[in-house]
Structure 1
């Protein structure tokens, strides 16, 4: 007797979106302002300018840069402007934040710019992943809710229903 196996997951009509696809591939480098402070704690204009002028900023070519200060120092706004002026010809993205937050911001930008029309009026499951920050699930839900017929979380075979239209 021939048995016919039916792939119930495929027959369900559910399609999956994997948020890892939108993870940025750009390398993120950190620039710690502390390295350019007088005695590692104070902004002295001449010393700061000399220190920054000695840096070969071409190492940031084609990279994202997370600018931060690892010490508790008062940083005047012109410091950020000077650093951006030096980074501008090289870095493709720069923000005053940690590298983890810069990666998250770039990831969000990729998802916002993504073509989500293929999910219109579909049953969609957002795949689970331990490497996906919770903020991405928030954003994905906001972007998909007006488009999809139903939204789920997990895997196609055993999804957690979030909503149905």
Structure 2
């Protein structure tokens, strides 16, 4: 009998699974809408008092998006003031929505990649994941590895879509 050989496992293909860059901490939105007077206006004195009274420990060990979901004009300093409290807690936060938070987290993780690891190698950017990987991350990883890789494909090592092949 012929021995079954796993050609995919024995190939030089390097697989990048973006799910491995997903941070598992809980994401929370700090919504300034809750602090608006009549849902329209931020009163500085009331806002500062409310922030002082808030139990900030509920944000410990979480990733925070400081955002205002109301259609109101909120001054930039209000978002920044919330940031001062979060910085004191030593938690990671951004000023923006959850989508912006995900982009920030992936950008931070992907920026640590050494692109030389992919020099001259065929690369597969894995397509399926259990965690939500933003479309941004796929473009970002491509821009990191393409200048170094021999080729870049998308999908699974056994069934890929070719994206790029370096000229010979």
> 1:62 touches 1:90 (CA, 8 Å); kept in 2?
no
| Contact 1:60–1:91 (8 Å) recurs in 2 | no
- Give 2:139's aligned residue: 138
Structure 1: tracts of 5 or more residues without a match: none
After the TM superposition, which of the residue ranges 83-92 and 29-38 deviates more from structure 2?
83-92
Structure-2 separation of matches of 1:16 and 1:60? 35
- Tell me the residue number matched to 2:91: 92
Report if the CA contact (8 A) 2:102-2:134 is conserved.
Answer: no
- Shift of residue 142 of structure 1? 0.2
Task: Say whether 1:124 aligns with 2:102.
Answer: no
The Cα of 1:144 is off from its aligned counterpart by 0.2
Flag as ranges the 4+ runs of structure 1 deviating above 3 A: none
Whole-angstrom CA distance in 2 between matches of 1:145 and 1:134 = 17
Question: Who is 2:150 aligned against?
Answer: 149
Show the counterpart of 2:81: 82
8 Å contact kept, 1:15–1:122: yes
Asked if the contact 1:38–1:48 (Cα under 8 Å) also holds between the matched residues in 2, the reply is no
* Counterpart in the other structure of 2:43: 44
8 Å Cα contact 1:64/1:91 also seen in 2: no
Superposed CA deviations along residues 108-151 of structure 1, whole A, max 9, x for unmatched, are 21011123433222111111126432211111110001221111
In the TM superposition, what is the alpha-carbon distance from 1:58 to its structure 2 partner? 2.0
1:91 CA drift (Å) = 4.5
TM-score calculated relative to the size of structure 1: 0.89
Tell me which residue corresponds to 1:111: 110
RMSD: 1.8
- Aligned-partner Cα distance in 2 for 1:90–1:5: 55
Q: Cα offset for 1:40?
A: 2.8
TM-score by length of 2: 0.87
Superposed CA deviations along residues 3-44 of structure 1, whole A, max 9, x for unmatched, are 222222234321211010011223221111111122232111
